[in-house]
Amino acid sequence: MNVYHYDRASRFLEKVEPVLEKHEAVNNLLLGLFHMEAKGETEGRAALDSYKMVVEDGDERIRLIVLINSNNAILYGAEPFSLEAVKAVVADLRARGAQVPGVIGPNEIARSFAEEWAESNRLVPVLKMNQRIYQLDRVLPFSGSKGRLRLATVLDQELIAAWIKQFADSIHERITAEEASNKTVGFIRQAAVYLWDDDGAVSMAKTTRPTKHGIVLSNVYTPPEHRNKGYASSCVAALSQRMLDEGYSFCSLYTDLANPTSNHIYSQIGYHPVRDSVMYRFAGEPGGKQE
């Protein structure tokens, strides 16, 4: 196995995009992040601190694609799964003194990477979330709730920041109120946050990581006092339709398999599952004693 590193996201995207686009919705996370980083390069923004890696076999076939940023190692693995490719990446990263906070990817490859990385660094892999990736090509007719979809403005900034903090808390992500506020400023500036309004904002969703043919919906959140009224379904359905109307061929999103309600809601709207994914974190200190 041969491991190759790329400094420029644009060159990396040229290499891996044809492979990832064969299953664009499944690989939305990698594709979206690569497109965002490549766009930043063309606009003269400082390069992100990340590892961009490809593992090829002896026949120059891509077996593994890896992006490591400040949050996770995000993985794509060709079928049939190659444990040898995973071992090659882990050995390479260890030699470079890389830090890997977590792992996201298809179940088998993410689990194998987490186990190999944990063993080589004397850490413990901790399953954080079982996820499912959904894709929507057409919004199905359904009985929506009262209200309308609208783009968030600076007047909504304080409310959205509070909701982003609550959303992060609900999925056990650490984020301060200041960080939530800073994120909100960027989201509103990018015209990415939408609200369902029924005599006031009652639910939110945002768009992120556009790829060549699709876009991702994320941060779907309804505060407890407005739940069980169909607001989230209406918000996601209307925003999905808006994205299709703007020219995207499909929308995709991640769900937590531990939340059957949201999975059912998305299916009613027209989202169908395309791949399961898993997220790991690591416990302990690298090189430390394991209990």
**Rounded Cα–Cα distance for residues 174 and 197 (Å):** 28
Q: Are residues 158 and 115 in the same domain?
A: no
pLDDT given at position 46: 59
Residue 203 forms part of a structural domain: yes
Task: Give 291's pLDDT tier (boundaries 50, 70, 90).
Answer: very low
Task: Pick the range with the lowest mean pLDDT from 27-41, 113-127, 197-211.
Answer: 27-41
- The mean of the pLDDT values for the chain is 92
Range of the domain at 33: 2-131+278-283
The total number of structural domains in the chain stands at 2
Q: Are residues 158 and 108 in the same domain?
A: no
Q: Are residues 165 and 259 in the same domain?
A: yes
Task: Give 290's pLDDT tier (boundaries 50, 70, 90).
Answer: very low
Report the interhelical angle of 231-245 vs 260-269 (nearest 10°): 40
Residue 73: strand, helix, or coil: strand
Task: Pick the range with the lowest mean pLDDT from 47-61, 101-115, 195-209.
Answer: 47-61
Q: Provide DSSP, 139-184.
A: PPP----SSEEEE--GGGHHHHHHHHHHHHHHTT----HHHHHHHH
Residue 289 forms part of a structural domain: no
- Whether the predicted pLDDT of 160 surpasses 50: yes
